[in-house]
Amino acid sequence: MWFKNLQIYRLPAAWDMTLERLEEQLAKKPFHPCGSQDMESRGWLSPLGNEVLVHAVGDQWLVALGFEHRLLPSAVVKQEADERAEELAEQQGYKLGRKQLKELRELVTQELLPRAFTRRRRMFAWIDPVNGWLVIDAASQSKAEDVLEMLRHTLDSFPLTLLRTELSPMSAMADWLAGGEAPAGFTIDQDCELRSVSEDKAAVRYVRHTLDGDEVKGHLEAGKLPTRLALTFDDRISFVLTEKLEIKRLDFLDIVRDQIDGEKEDAEALFNAEFALMTGELAHLLPAVVAALGGETGAAAPQAPVAARSLAPVVAVSADDPPF
Tell me, what amino acid is at 307? A
Per-residue pLDDT tens over the stretch 271-324 = 998 999 888 899 899 999 999 999 998 744 454 445 445 433 333 333 344 444
List, in sequence order, the alpha helices (H) in the chain: 19-26, 74-92, 98-112, 141-154, 169-179, 214-221, 254-257, 267-292
189-to-84, 99, 181, 233, 279 alpha-carbon distances in Å: 59, 59, 11, 10, 23
Task: Report whether 9 contacts 162 (CB < 8 A).
Answer: yes
* Annotated domain spans of the chain: 7-71+115-160, 74-113, 169-292
Phi, psi of 37 (to 5 degrees): -115, 15
pLDDT value, residue 308: 45
Q: CA 5 to CA 7: how far, in whole Å?
A: 7
Q: CA 87 to CA 295: how far, in whole Å?
A: 68
Q: What is the pTM of this model?
A: 0.80
Q: CA 2 to CA 257: how far, in whole Å?
A: 9
pLDDT in tens, the chain (324 residues): 788 999 999 999 888 899 999 999 999 999 999 888 888 899 999 999 899 999 999 999 999 999 998 888 888 888 888 888 888 888 888 888 888 888 888 888 888 878 888 889 999 999 999 899 999 989 999 999 999 999 999 999 899 998 999 999 999 999 999 988 999 999 999 999 999 887 777 899 989 888 887 888 888 888 899 999 999 999 999 999 999 999 999 999 888 888 886 656 688 888 998 999 888 899 899 999 999 999 998 744 454 445 445 433 333 333 344 444
pLDDT value, residue 261: 66
Mean pLDDT score of the chain, rounded to an integer? 86
In total, the chain counts a number of residues equal to 324
Helix, strand counts (H, E) of the chain:
8, 12
Instruction: Give CA angle at 122 (74, 12), nearest 5°.
Output: 120
Q: CA 127 to CA 105: how far, in whole Å?
A: 44
Residue 243: count other Cβ atoms within 10 Å of its Cβ. Answer: 18
